[in-house]
Structure 1
Amino acid sequence: MRRELAFGAAALRRRPTLLLAAWSVPEILPTAAYGIAVAHATDAFLGGRSGAGLCWLAGLVAAAGLGAVGARQVYRRLGELVEPFRDELVRLVVGGALRRGVAGQRTDGALSRMNRQVEIVRDTYAGLILVTRTFAVTVVGVVTGLLSLAPIIALLVVPPFLLGFAASLAILGTAAQRVAASLSADEHLTTAAGTAFAGVRDITSAGAEDFAADLVGEPIDAHAAAERALAKVAALRTLCFAIGGWLPLLVLLATGPWLIGRGISTGTLLGGLTYVLLGLQPALNTVMAALGDSGLRFVVTLGRILDSGPPARRQLPAVVPRGHQVRLHKVSFTYGAHAEPVLRALDLVVPDGDHLAVVGPSGIGKSTLAGLVCGLLPPTEGRVLVGRVAPGELSAELLARTRVLIPQEAYVFSGTVADNLTYLAPHATAQQLEQAIEAVGAAALVARLGGTRAMLRPAQLSAGERQLVALARAYLSPAPLAVLDEATCHLDPEAERRAEEAFAARPGSLIVVAHRISSALRAHRILVLDGKEASLGRHTTLVRTSELYRDLLGHWQPPHDREDQIQPAS
């Protein structure tokens, strides 16, 4: 709890906090004055002095107006505190999910944290700021007013008020555990429901509705049980409020005759009742709701977000890759504990300077292989080495300098053309930039955009144009190993040829996940994945030995092509 409260306190920006506190001061005046004004106005009216009574009420209205001005300014300053805090939470959740995903760790619950829990923390954070301010203002104002009105009434009212407040604090530990259980149940329910919804077509076609109902039913029951446990805590909170909020009122009413006998006027007694009903009761109710509900949700939910943030970077040994040879030894990979392996006991060596094309039917594991080579996925079994080093043994900086992956859906961001192209090589010279643009065939696109200093808007580019930008960016990268995962699928055959030949001529190695036969024919070697056994060789060899490769070759070739026109790259 200390960590979460310290995080929230550290997020308070100094200037908005000071302004919020300063504008809270005017609210103390009406809080302290309304009991006194009611007492004197009542005595004045009972004594036949209507004018004096009206003056006291007019003064109360004026004090309330002053407090309203302060309250308006308080709400204006609240956004300056809350919105930057929310932005920091979003960065924390997204950064944590990305880092854990890249590291091959589970990211369950990230969606719930992003959509629901961040908003819970944001709203409760704002509520805690307001409640803390309001509670302080109210207590200071009421105690000041009671002492000015009649100290004996303060002695009768304040002790039960503090007793109820202390009782509400005593149940916070139990409440925190039940809030944590509720949030955990919510995450499990979100994950289970998301899994069921994503596979609704498969569930329906396979007649697995009962299985899906069981899959989601257990988290639903657990979530309902957690919510019932929270309801019991709410009942205890109601009892605490009865002690701290209603008991002072009963004590004051019960001792009324005794107080009047000691010289306390009717107006003074009514003023004390006003302080209890309009001051202490609302303040206690608000602070209990904040600490027992919103406060606990803030602490528990923020704790889960902080725990899911970017993992602490472990100190990696000073390992430097020797070359960029790719070696896979008995590598298998599955996307779930009970799923069929996408890759099974794969052995593969890609020497320095090699040009390998990976082919196979859709869904056979070509992109999975690219992810394994680039360190985005950890193998379920076996070992992946690049430069004789496993990806997990390298820092993020060394990984980026060793290999570069260009996926099918190219990433382009708003900024200048140069910013996009030099993202992986920030120190590239203008000559190197122009060379990369020309090599991959992006010169016409850059000229149309207005040059390298022109602003680039992703929505204004076609899928093929975004791929050209990504290809030029990767070409500039210092990484000697380039992996093209269908990175040219939106280009025409001639543009694809130019880009692949540029990467083949670039110093280093090239692995191409091919979607056209021409990409395979340009490679030195071809890897055919069929889900059981992989075949590796040159085009002429695979035509003789691999039935799947012959099927793919016949599917890819236009009917008018003659096989004697197809020549593999040397």
Structure 2
Amino acid sequence: MRPPRPEPPDHTSPGHTPPPQAPARRAPWWRGRGVERREVGFWRALWREPGQVVRIMLWSVLEAAPAFLVGHAVARAIEDGFARAEPLVGMAWLAALGVTWTAAAVAARQVVLGVAAVAEPFRDDLLAHVVEGALRRDTRGDSAAVARAGLQVELARDAFAAVVTTVRGFVFTVVGVALGLLTLAPQAVVLVLPPFVAGLGLFLASLPALARRQRAFLLADESLAEAMTDMAGGLRDIEACGLQEGVAGRLRREVGEQAGAARALARVTAVRTAALAVGGWLPVVLLLAGAPWLLGGGAGPGVIVGALAYVTQSLAPALGGLVEGLGVSGVRLAVTLRRITTAVPAAGPPRDRARPPTADVRLDAVTFAYGPHSAPVVDRLDLTVPEGDHLAVVGPSGAGKSTLAALISGTLRPGSGQALVGGVPADRIDPAARVLIPQEAYVFRGTLLENLAYLRPAASPAELDAAVAAVGATDLVAELGGYGATLDPAALSAGQRQLIALVRAHLTTAPLIILDEATCHLDPAAEARAEEAFARRGGTLVVVAHRLTSALRARRILLMDGAQVTVGTHDELVRTSPLYADLAGHWHPEPVS
């Protein structure tokens, strides 16, 4: 995730080329050029791509066409067709309504696709917020909390899509009905719209209380579930210590609070029924009761039936959908967003993070296994990587190369021993001090510039161009349409994603770079260019090699083969290690004794 932007350390070791120095702190140069940092928020997500919103609105006009036509079609079918013994005319009006419904169905499909295109980036923002908050607060000890937040992100995405779909449909339907009534029977508007507005107002006024009651119910329900889990897990101790009464009393209180919260929620929810009755069905009663007045004003029976069709077929269902959508999905969205931002906040400084004074790496008797009963993947490993060194890690699949990269970067903690960077435990170093690129490079939805400058948003255009050229991504930038091009990660090849991640890492001022098969999807020439760019960049470079040519470019090579770990140059390992000689294609069988 995006780290803070500290000033880089002053590297003064002999023969070391320091990474480019960061400019003085200032507003990122891309501000004001259509590129902004992604933030969590409903309106931010909705209007991130105005063009997509405009397309949704245009399709919504077609989708709402039946809401405008239904009253006219019914009225004309009755008065111009069936009432005059002209069934073909009446059927033609109804057929026109049917064609409109068919077109509306096509438009509805396009609306769903458009809403999904808006909702997915919203989900990405929330997920990024959760992950960044987890990294900043170091929640590795509470993975369940992060998992719950991840589930809440999915719930929020679904609720966001439901709210956008519901509110949009309601607005366009109401506009269509209002225009239809005004053009069909203007006098009927006074019988329909006032109670409809009253019902709508009653429902909207109840929303804040509904959100509060919904949140209180969720908290009480979770508290009761937690108390029941604790009780079930400690039944033997409760019985042995004679704590039955105390535990039962606590559970009674929890059940009472949950029941009270449920009753309070039910009372507020009942307002929705009243709102539907006032806004959806009272207009029907008023139209029927006011039929003599409408007939006296020149409206025919067909017009009255058409006005009833507007209310029963469009207006009342639209209000019902809004009440259901906002009353359930809207409240759920509000509550979930609050819980996400409260449970895993992304703001605030990292906890117990330190900027290491140097970029040397040292592993002292490091052991790591992926389970308490699993064999160690790394076993009592001692390793020193001096600052400015270029180390390649090779070995057969499953030898622990990626695990070693994760231990050096601090994303895994040793089961025993120490993994240090500049004398600081690797899992406690400032994230800005190191960059790890895994085999599957991460690219998020957004512009190419946002992706490239993600770890260093204050980089200048010249620094960005230099990093792109050094890694060999100039052609890729042109192919994608420039820095302002919007990226769809699914449409990029694995090699394109790796190039973007490599530029992102090269642009940072991090003195420690770890490439975990980060060039495996590039061709050999592109891989060589990228690795040579990082070698020239300066700092400490650790490369988990995909091809043996990566080892040939390194100063030293670490060969991993289970418990056997050997360090040396290429020539040394070819002479001393049969495994390496085999990997290098220089295998010489041992003489038969």
Aligned to 1:37: 73
CA distance in 1, matches of 2:118, 2:236: 45
Aligned to 1:544: none
CA distance in 2, matches of 1:83, 1:217: 42
CA distance in 2, matches of 1:310, 1:407: 33
TM alignment of 1:253-268, pairs within 5 A: 253-268=288-303
Instruction: Say whether 1:433 aligns with 2:376.
Output: no
Instruction: Say whether 1:179 aligns with 2:214.
Output: yes
Measured at CA, do residues 91 and 189 of structure 1 come closer, stay the same or move farther in structure 2, by a change above 3 Å? farther
C-alpha offsets along residues 80-132 of structure 1, whole Å, 9 cap, x if unaligned? Answer: 2223322332332343344334599x9996554433x3343222211111111
Match of 2:195 among 160, 169, 173: 160
Aligned to 1:126: 161
Instruction: Say whether 1:10 aligns with 2:7.
Output: no
Shift of the alpha carbon at 1:181? 0.9
Measured at CA, do residues 310 and 269 of structure 1 come closer, stay the same or move farther in structure 2, by a change above 3 Å? same
SS at match of 2:318: helix
CA distance in 1, matches of 2:402, 2:236: 32
TM alignment of 1:145-156, pairs within 5 A: 145-156=180-191
Contact 1:109 1:187 in 2 (8 A): no
Shift of the alpha carbon at 1:401? 6.9
Measured at CA, do residues 469 and 128 of structure 1 come closer, stay the same or move farther in structure 2, by a change above 3 Å? closer
SS at match of 1:11: helix
Shift of the alpha carbon at 1:55? 1.0
Shift of the alpha carbon at 1:69? 1.0
SS at match of 2:422: coil
CA distance in 2, matches of 1:471, 1:300: 38
Contact 1:97 1:308 in 2 (8 A): no
Residues 295-304 or 395-404, more deviating: 395-404
Q: Which amino acid aligns with 1:80?
A: A
C-alpha offsets along residues 248-275 of structure 1, whole Å, 9 cap, x if unaligned? Answer: 1111110111211222100000000000
Contact 1:26 1:66 in 2 (8 A): yes
Measured at CA, do residues 497 and 176 of structure 1 come closer, stay the same or move farther in structure 2, by a change above 3 Å? same
Q: Which amino acid aligns with 1:7?
A: G
CA distance in 1, matches of 2:358, 2:315: 61
Aligned to 1:230: 265
Aligned to 1:53: 90
Aligned to 1:338: none
CA distance in 2, matches of 1:221, 1:244: 35
Contact 2:281 2:316 in 1 (8 A): yes
C-alpha offsets along residues 439-459 of structure 1, whole Å, 9 cap, x if unaligned? Answer: xxxxxxx2324xxxxxxxxxx
Instruction: Say whether 1:302 aligns with 2:354.
Output: no
CA distance in 2, matches of 1:476, 1:76: 48
TM alignment of 1:493-532, pairs within 5 A: none
Aligned to 1:91: 128
Instruction: Say whether 1:62 aligns with 2:20.
Output: no
TM alignment of 1:19-418, pairs within 5 A: 19-43=55-79, 44-101=81-138, 111-115=147-151, 117-196=152-231, 218-314=253-349, 395-398=353-356, 408-409=368-369
Contact 2:59 2:107 in 1 (8 A): yes
CA distance in 1, matches of 2:196, 2:176: 15
Contact 1:164 1:245 in 2 (8 A): yes
Aligned to 2:395: 447
Shift of the alpha carbon at 1:76? 2.2
TM alignment of 1:540-555, pairs within 5 A: none
Shift of the alpha carbon at 1:482? 5.8
SS at match of 1:433: strand
Q: Which amino acid aligns with 1:227?
A: A
**TM-score normalised over the length of structure 1:** 0.57
Structure 1 gap segments, 5+ residues each = 317-391, 412-420, 438-445, 450-460, 485-493, 503-570
CA distance in 2, matches of 1:136, 1:216: 46
Q: Which amino acid aligns with 2:391?
A: L
C-alpha offsets along residues 328-376 of structure 1, whole Å, 9 cap, x if unaligned? Answer: xxxxxxxxxxxxxxxxxxxxxxxxxxxxxxxxxxxxxxxxxxxxxxxxx
Measured at CA, do residues 305 and 60 of structure 1 come closer, stay the same or move farther in structure 2, by a change above 3 Å? same
Q: Which amino acid aligns with 2:290?
A: T
Aligned to 2:543: none
SS at match of 2:91: helix
CA distance in 1, matches of 2:256, 2:158: 27
Contact 2:231 2:247 in 1 (8 A): yes
Contact 2:166 2:321 in 1 (8 A): yes
Shift of the alpha carbon at 1:141? 0.9
Percent identity among equivalent residues? 36
Shift of the alpha carbon at 1:71? 0.7
Contact 2:356 2:424 in 1 (8 A): no
Measured at CA, do residues 400 and 82 of structure 1 come closer, stay the same or move farther in structure 2, by a change above 3 Å? farther
Contact 2:74 2:306 in 1 (8 A): yes
Measured at CA, do residues 224 and 72 of structure 1 come closer, stay the same or move farther in structure 2, by a change above 3 Å? same
Instruction: Say whether 1:480 aligns with 2:423.
Output: yes
SS at match of 1:134: helix
CA distance in 2, matches of 1:86, 1:396: 31
CA distance in 1, matches of 2:327, 2:111: 24
Measured at CA, do residues 403 and 410 of structure 1 come closer, stay the same or move farther in structure 2, by a change above 3 Å? farther
C-alpha offsets along residues 193-236 of structure 1, whole Å, 9 cap, x if unaligned? Answer: 55456667876887877766655554344233212211111111
SS at match of 1:264: coil
Shift of the alpha carbon at 1:303? 1.5
Structure with larger Rg? 1
C-alpha offsets along residues 113-161 of structure 1, whole Å, 9 cap, x if unaligned? Answer: 433x334322221111111111112011101111110110112211111
CA distance in 1, matches of 2:288, 2:74: 17
C-alpha offsets along residues 359-397 of structure 1, whole Å, 9 cap, x if unaligned? Answer: xxxxxxxxxxxxxxxxxxxxxxxxxxxxxxxxx6x6454
C-alpha offsets along residues 177-205 of structure 1, whole Å, 9 cap, x if unaligned? Answer: 21221232234345445545666787688
CA distance in 2, matches of 1:264, 1:59: 23
CA distance in 2, matches of 1:471, 1:170: 54
Measured at CA, do residues 256 and 465 of structure 1 come closer, stay the same or move farther in structure 2, by a change above 3 Å? same
SS at match of 1:448: coil
CA distance in 1, matches of 2:357, 2:275: 58
Aligned length: 374
Contact 1:183 1:301 in 2 (8 A): no
CA distance in 2, matches of 1:151, 1:257: 15
Contact 1:153 1:272 in 2 (8 A): yes
C-alpha offsets along residues 399-432 of structure 1, whole Å, 9 cap, x if unaligned? Answer: 9979989674469xxxxxxxxx9xx99x976x54
SS at match of 1:252: helix
CA distance in 2, matches of 1:216, 1:111: 26
Q: Which amino acid aligns with 1:448?
A: P
Shift of the alpha carbon at 1:285? 1.3
